Each structure stands twice: as C-alpha cells, then as structure tokens.
Amino acid sequence: MDGSLGTARSTKRDAAPDRGRPAGGFALFLKRWAANPLQMGSVVPSSSSLTRRIARLTTWGEDEIVVELGAGTGVVSRALLAAGLPPERLHVVEIVPEMAEHLRETLPGVRVVTGDAFTLPDLIPRHLHGRVGTAICGIPLVLLPLDQQRRFVQAVEAVSPGRGFLLYTYCITSPLPYRALDLSAKREAWTPLNLPPASVWRYVPR
Ligand SMILES: C[S@@+](CC[C@H](N)C(=O)[O-])C[C@H]1O[C@@H](n2cnc3c(N)ncnc32)[C@H](O)[C@@H]1O
C-alpha cells in the first residue's frame, strides 16, 4: 500500500513519477480493429480529452485498486497514472494477447492481465475483492445482447459490490438498458474532442 496517498476517496495528487513509456500502438489498434471491429468498438484510441475526464471521475481509497477493462493501447491507463494513481494499484484486463503484451512493455508496474473481463472474479486476486475504488469499462458493451451485458454487470458486482462502473461510449443516450439491468445511470461527462464525441456514464446497482 502507498501510505503517501493518505486521505479517503479521490486521493488525486501530483502527477505520478512514472506514467509509463509513450503509448504508441496506433498501428496495433488499427490492425486489431481490422481483425475484429466488434471487439474493438472503435477505429482509434480514446483522445486525451476523454481520458482526462475518465481519470477525473476515478477514485481510489487508501487500500483500494482501480480496475480497467479493455485497456487497448493504454491511453486511459496513462491518464490514470498521470492523475496520481500508483502503477501497482492499477489492474488492467485486456483480451487480445498482443495488446496485453504491448501494455506490459509500456506500462511498467501496472498489473496487466490477459483475459476476458467477463471472468473478472477469476482475474483479480481474491484479497482485492471488495477493494475496488473504481471499475472502468472500455469494452463495447453496447454491441452485446442483454444477457451478456447482465453477465458483465454481475462480474463487476462480484469484485466491487454495490459500486458499479464507469463506461465510456459514443452513444448520446445510455448505451445500456439500465432499468432492465437493475442499474441506475448518470452521464457524468461529455467531450466533443474525441472521434467520435464521447460520454462517460456511471452505472450503479439499484
Ligand atoms: C474501444 S477499445 C478501448 C481501448 C482503450 N481503452 C481506449 O480507450 O482507446 C476496446 C478494448 O476492449 C478490448 N476487449 C474487448 N472485449 C473484451 C473482453 N471481453 N475482455 C477484455 N478486453 C476486451 C479490446 O481488445 C479493445 O482493446
């Protein structure tokens, strides 16, 4: 645990000393999009305008971690580190092995797991269950059927009971049918400076 991040939630401090090496990976992102557009959900990585907004909405307590699902080339991860999240408190899950390898190489100290976010309880060490400050979802959930969306909600709930998750999206309205999923929904940020313009939603179990 990092004792310097003393106070309770939202313990943002000065920029972290190591934000990882430059993201790069644009060609990798494009290649993966060409290989599986539905899994990627986007042609280009999120903009700095969007990733800064996500970082601002992300909180962690003294003994908590942040979980990022679908990290891609690590642009959101970098914004979190820049906001002061210690690398060892960031657990990222990425399903594409090549992208996970890129994350390991460029984000020293960050816990990178190659795996499917739908099996999240198996990917996060058990002693950290219930100690997730914020879970952030980059997976294109909007493209999935309701039963899979429900499975995702349950997977997050298992490691972060009652806390819900942030989801960034290009949809103008809620990308998830939140009532059917027993969630409350709030759009917490929007930026036109992303391709396409994007919002950040917070979903919490009702
Ligand atoms: C829209 S991209 C977001 C990438 C990056 N976070 C960004 O903001 O640019 C979606 C990412 O989710 C990953 N992904 C898709 N389904 C996944 C799953 N079930 N588990 C983990 N990662 C997944 C994709 O491989 C891709 O890297």
CATH number at residue 120: 3.40.50.150
Q: Return the pLDDT at 7.
A: 29
Task: Report whether 156 contacts 135 (CB < 8 A).
Answer: yes
Could you identify the residue written with the tokens 């934000």? Answer: 19
Q: What does the pLDDT read at residue 169?
A: 94
Residue 38 belongs to a domain: no
Q: Which of 188, 143, 200, 168 is nearest to 70 (CA)?
A: 168
Q: Kindly give the distance from the C-alpha atom of residue 62 to the centroid of ligand 1, in angstroms, as a whole number.
A: 27
Q: Alpha-carbon torsion 47, 88, 56, 122, what sign?
A: positive
Ligand 1 within 6 A of CB of 40: yes
User: Residue 162 domain-assigned?
Assistant: yes
Please state the separation of Cα 77 from the chain's center in Å. Answer: 8
In a domain, 56, yes or no: yes
- For residue 67, being part of any structural domain is answered with yes
Residue 133 near ligand 1, beta carbon < 6 Å:
no
Taking the C-alpha atoms of residue 165 and residue 156, their distance in angstroms, rounded to an integer, is 8
Query: Measured from the CB, is residue 164 less than 6 Å from ligand 1?
Result: no
Supply the pLDDT for residue 20: 53
Signed CA dihedral, 206, 127, 124, 199: sign only: positive
Do residues 161 and 132 make contact, with C-beta atoms less than 8 angstroms apart? no
Ligand 1 lined by 117 (C-beta under 6 Å)? yes
pLDDT at 173: 94
Place of tokens 């998750």: 165
Residue 71 lies in a domain: yes
What is the whole-number distance in angstroms between the Cα of residue 38 and the centre of ligand 1?
10
Kindly state if the Cβ of 181 falls inside 6 Å of ligand 1: no
Measured in Å, residue 182 CA sits from the centre of ligand 1 at 24
**Closest residue CA from atom 6 of ligand 1:** 71
Q: Which domain covers residue 140, as residue numbers?
A: 46-205
Say if ligand 1 is within 6 A of residue 138 CB.
yes
64 CA → ligand 1 middle, Å: 23
Q: How far is CA 181 from CA 58, 149, 166, in A?
A: 22, 8, 15
Q: Examine residue 158 and state whether it is found in any structural domain, yes or no.
A: yes
Chunked mean pLDDT (size 10), the chain, 206 residues: 33 44 72 84 88 98 97 97 98 97 97 98 98 97 96 98 97 95 97 95 98
CA 76 to chain CA mean position, Å: 7
Could you tell me if residue 121 is inside a domain? yes
- Contacts by 139-143 with C-beta closer than 8 Å and gap 24+? 139/41, 139/69, 139/70, 140/38, 140/39, 140/40, 140/41, 140/42, 140/70, 141/167, 141/175, 141/176, 142/41, 142/169, 142/171, 142/175, 142/176, 143/38, 143/41
- Structural domains counted in the chain: 1
Q: Is residue 2 part of a domain?
A: no
How many angstroms separate the Cα of 145 from the Cα of each of 140, 142, 175, 180?
Answer: 11, 8, 12, 12
